Amino acid sequence: MDRNSRIFVAGHRGLAGSAILRRLAEAGCTDLVLRDRSQLDLTDQAAVRSFFDREKIEYVFLAAAKVGGILANERFSADFIRDNLLIQTNVIDAAWRSGVKKLLFLGSSCLYPKFAEQPVKEEALLTGAMEPSNKPYAIAKIAGITMCQAYRRQYGFNAISAMPSNLYGPGDHYEPENSHVLPGLIRRFHDARIDGQPSVTLWGTGTPRREFLYIDDLADACLHLMDSYDGEDIINVGPGEDIAIADLANLIRGTVGYEGALTHDLSKPDGHPRKLMDVSRLFATGWRPKVSLEEGVRRSYEWFLANGARTAPETPARSTQAAE
């Protein structure tokens, strides 16, 4: 990809999009086209087509999506399938119609079958039942991958798809309920330390294993694929290593400095038992991640401390009625 090309980063204010934007800037890309939701509603087909016709985009990083953890997927399942279908359909189609040279679409490791053989190869997609808790999101994103492949076959559109493992890092959402597991645990352990809580409760058994990719490593991999990969097959992107959720919780507990107990709520779902991807296809191209999980958690916590973390216990609101 020519560094002077006109590049659109869809979803540049999100976790993945903001990291891709940083990486492109570091690489010397200066003609970056950015629109937030107030400037361009990606669910509006007419607006998206007009944008592409007007801006003469050459390359697209499609990182815009509605994402969330298990609880968010359960509460807003209709929003997850509707919004993601609309966003990716509008962007992929408008990009092809306007003559975009290449588009990179981001999928997710959660699209693979729940009980896929580990580590999961790219060929496992659609070979078994998916995890029910994120089915609407997964179906939408699989449709996006299939659309990229179909547009390549029928129209010759150079669209590629990457499948990242669980992402985390600066810019993530740290709400205790609607966030993904790693930032959610950072928030909960931090608040428990500040408030002097005796314990933190972990959803489920803690035995499921997850593979975590630092967001700046994902951005580096995306640029690498845009430069060097032109195939229909999806590409797994991850470190090739996983960790049990309970061990992750203890790593975060140590990073935050929380000294209380860790308990388990067995009424909550575990989700996928394991999600480790086979990343040999990507590694064969010469790419490797640079940030270890320990270092990534440390950087993530430092970012959280600098961007809104509480530093004092919450105090109850005072009554407006005077005591007698």
pLDDT tens-digit map of 225-242: 999 999 999 999 999 999
pLDDT band for position 262 (50/70/90)? very high
- Based on the number of CB atoms within 10 Å of its own CB, is 267 exposed (0-12), middle (13-18) or buried (19 or more)? exposed
14: annotated binding-site residue? yes
Domain ranges of the chain: 7-172+211-241+274-291
Q: Is the predicted pLDDT of residue 322 greater than 50, yes or no? A: no
- Arch. (CATH architecture) of 7-172+211-241+274-291: 3-Layer(aba) Sandwich (3.40)
Residue that has been written with the tokens 């990486």 in this structure: 23
Whether residue 126 is predicted with pLDDT greater than 80 in this model: the reply is yes
Taking residue 222's Cβ as centre, other Cβ atoms within 10 Å add up to: 24
256 confidence band (pLDDT: 50, 70, 90): very high
Tell me the average pLDDT of the chain: 92
To the question of whether residue 141 is assigned a binding role by annotation, the answer is yes
Pairing of strands 159-164, 166-168: unpaired
pTM of the model: 0.91
108 labeled binding residue: yes
Beta strands at 199-203 and 209-210: parallel, antiparallel or unpaired:
unpaired
**Among 59, 137, 174, 301, which one carries the catalytic annotation?**
137
Closest CA to 182 of 136, 221, 213: 213
Query: Are residues 182 and 242 in contact, defined by beta-carbon separation less than 8 angstroms?
Result: no
Residue-wise pLDDT tens digits, 142-155: 999 999 999 999 99
Q: Alpha helix (H) ranges present in the chain?
A: 15-26, 45-55, 70-75, 77-97, 135-155, 181-195, 215-228, 245-256, 280-283, 293-306
180 a known binding residue? yes
In the numeric block, which tokens belong to residue 89? 């359909």
Do residues 100 and 60 make contact, with C-beta atoms less than 8 angstroms apart? yes
What size, in residues, is the chain?
324
Q: Comparing C-alpha atoms, which of 83, 60, 270, 71 is closest to residue 175?
A: 71
Residue found under tokens 């966003």: 87
Range of lowest pLDDT (8-17, 51-60, 65-74, 119-128) = 65-74
Q: In this structure, which amino acid lies at residue 68? A: G
Q: Answer yes or no: are the C-beta atoms of 300 and 172 closer than 8 Å.
A: yes
Catalytic annotation on 112? Answer: no
251: left (phi over 0), alpha (psi -120 to 50) or beta: alpha
272 appears as a binding residue in the annotation:
no
Angle at CA 225, nearest 5°, toward 221 and 230? 165
Cα separation of 11 and 142, whole Å? 19
Q: Is 288 flagged in the annotation as binding?
A: no
**How far, in Å, CA of 284 to CA of 229, rounded?**
11
69 annotated ligand-binding residue: no
Classify the phi-psi angles of 179: left when phi > 0, otherwise alpha if psi is within -120 to 50, otherwise beta.
beta
166 annotated to a ligand binding site: yes
